[in-house]
Structure formats: structure tokens, C-alpha cells
A = this chain, B = another copy of it.
């Protein structure tokens, strides 16, 4: 299969608000007031959590179907902690981004815990967002 190309195109509306388009969808990003924004939209890192959770939904359901597992309901919660000192230029002691990400999957299913563990192993390998967060990705800048 050929590669799929994804893109966002947008602009800075002010120092914290970005407005971009992906296909027919508009996405706005902002910061809360204590980070100089107007809290008009989710923060950048909250969109990372949304993309991750949405990806896990797709991949859990896809692989469950392959394995013959019926999922009655699925809740996905993700939490991550960031120390803001590097972003703010206060210190280099800690990394800039999420120090770790903690994913809680509440899978309501009759499948055995062994089957659910096998499902999870596949999910981690095949979820695109999990891949890009758990592993390194080349990033290229042009100005």
C-alpha cells in the first residue's frame, strides 16, 4: 500500500492561538490564562492526548475484531506530567515534554485476561500514535 500523507496548514492568530485546517476540519489551539493565553481552545499537549486516545480506540477495536473479541464498552483515559521550566527557559534540569504518559484502558469484555494481554501487545505495536510517542521520529524544519 502507498503511504498516506497527512497535513495541517494554519497560522498564528496571536502568540498563543493557532488556527489550522486539516482537510475540511478547523482546529484551534490556545493556552490558559496563566500561560498568557485566553483559554479559548485546548492546549497543544492536550491535543496530543486526544490523538493518542483516539488512536487507541481505533486500534483496540480493530485488533479485537481480528481476534474475535467482543468489546462491550471501552473507556480510555490518559494522563501525563510536564515540568514547565525548560519551556519557560528557567532551567534545563528536566525535559520539555511529557515525562511519561499513563494510559488507562477500561475494556469491558468477556475475553480472558490472557487474550486481553495479547490484544494489548498488538495494540502497542500497531498504534501509529503510540509508535511516534514511544519511539523517535525524524523531524525536519524548513524556514
Q: Spell out A's residues near B (CB within 8 Å).
A: 1-12, 15-18, 20, 22-23, 25, 27, 29-31, 35, 41-55, 57-63, 65-66, 71, 73-90, 95-107, 116, 120, 124-143
Contact = CB atoms under 8 A, between A and B. Distances in A.
A48 to B, nearest CB: 4
Q: How many copies make up the complex?
A: 2
A134 B106 CA distance: 29
- Between A16, A43, A52, A79, the greatest number of chain B beta carbons within 10 A of the residue's beta carbon is seen for A43
Nearest to A66: B89
B101 A61 contact: no
A50 B29 contact: yes
Contacts of A100: 137-140
Contacts of A42: 22-23, 25, 27
Given A59-B87, A76-B18, A134 B134 contact: no
Contacts of A25: 41-42, 46
